[in-house]
Chain A
Amino acid sequence: MKGKIVIDKEFCKGCQFCIAFCPKKAVQISAKRNTKGYAYAEYDKTKKCSGCATCALVCPEATIEVYRE
């Protein structure tokens, strides 16, 4: 099963919960910053996201959308 996530970077505050709890390590911290000044989380397309939605479950800002086949 394959999945993908979409992160609205302007809502992200860089707490890194999604990065710590993702079982596939498919989320990474960006080198860029958003308009609030936070280094935001982004989807690492080279890894295989399974669409388990753990990242979205722990995201305090409810900014992650999860898609699954």
Chain B
Amino acid sequence: MKKVFSRPKSLRKVSMHYCPGCGHSIIHRLIAELLDELKLRDKTICVPPAGCAVLAYYYLDIDMVEAPHGRATAVATGIKRVHPKNLVFSYQGDGDLAAIGTSEALHAANRGEQITVIFVNNAVYGMTGGQMAPTTLAGQKTTTSPFGRDPKIEGPPIRVCELLATLHNTSYLERVAVNSPAHIKKTKNALRKAFEHQKKNTGFSLVEILSPCPTNWRMDPLQSCKWIDEVMVKEFPLGVLKEVKC
């Protein structure tokens, strides 16, 4: 029998620290598969975030530069300007990109930096224990909104893709999810497109990935996948929000 699927080479053979059913590890694998397929493993520099994925440098076998909380796009900007021929991407969560790093992300996108941002949206602060994030849905219970998020007091959730789509220099913005086999395949295609856009220097590209967080949503892994389909997708509709020709 022929081997048709195994662990990608760019993903180190170590057990990841993520909770059972976490979307981060699926996204790590997709990135590793893509880098293997595109043969970019030696030419890629990643900027991991502060957050659950802070230890991504233990798992992805590529060059990494850790950034302070929220500053990944600023660090990636510097790296890309010094190494324009390398593939540079930042990997950020919603607490990292949409809260503390909003200004860095917004201005990097406005300047049209030739970087790719992989934005993992799980609607809570994962690592610190499930506090309310800017992307938390209205009515969603978290440790800092025990009665549900009230949009009158805390505001409605931020839609990062829609926000960045209004800027001139963004080239590729897509929202995908990793809660089913079909969505995982679409996510991989979205990441491939974003990397291609970067290769052709068309501008700032961002892929927002809705990812399950069973632990902080107080659900089992399968329930959290369903919750994305039934609840989260209504607030964060999937699809391509912006694509310029390349």
Contacts and interface: CB of A to CB of B under 8 A. Distances in A.
Interface of A: 3-4, 10-11, 13-17, 20-21, 36, 38, 51, 53-54, 56-69
Contact of B15 (A11, A21, A53, A58): A11
A66 to B, nearest CB: 4
A40 to B, nearest CB: 11
Secondary structure dominating the interface of B: mixed
B221 A16 contact: yes
25 contacts: A10-B15, A15-B21, A15-B214, A15-B221, A16-B221, A17-B21, A17-B221, A17-B222, A36-B15, A54-B181, A57-B185, A58-B26, A58-B180, A58-B181, A60-B23, A60-B25, A60-B29, A61-B16, A62-B8, A63-B7, A64-B5, A66-B6, A67-B1, A68-B2, A69-B2
A57 B181 contact: yes
A30 B15 CA distance: 19
Contact of B7 (A4, A53, A62, A69): A62
Contact of A3 (B1, B6, B15, B222): B1
A4 B1 contact: yes
Interface in B164-198: 180-181, 184-185
A61 B5 contact: no
A63 B7 CA distance: 7
B21 A65 contact: no
A4 B3 CA distance: 9
Contacts of B4: 3, 51, 53, 66-68
A56 B5 contact: yes
Interface of B: 1-8, 11, 15-16, 18-26, 29, 180-181, 184-185, 214, 221-222, 225
Contact of A62 (B29, B181, B222, B225): B29
Contact of B3 (A15, A16, A57, A66): A66
B209 to A, nearest CB: 13
Contact of B5 (A10, A16, A38, A65): A65
A51 B1 CA distance: 10
Contact of A68 (B1, B16, B25): B1
Interface centre among A21, A59, A62 (most CB of B within 10 A): A62
A34 to B, nearest CB: 10
Given A16-B221, A56-B5, A69-B1, A62 B25 contact: yes
Nearest to A65: B6
Interface centre among A21, A38, A61, A64 (most CB of B within 10 A): A61
A60 B26 contact: yes
A65 to B, nearest CB: 5
Contacts of A66: 3-6
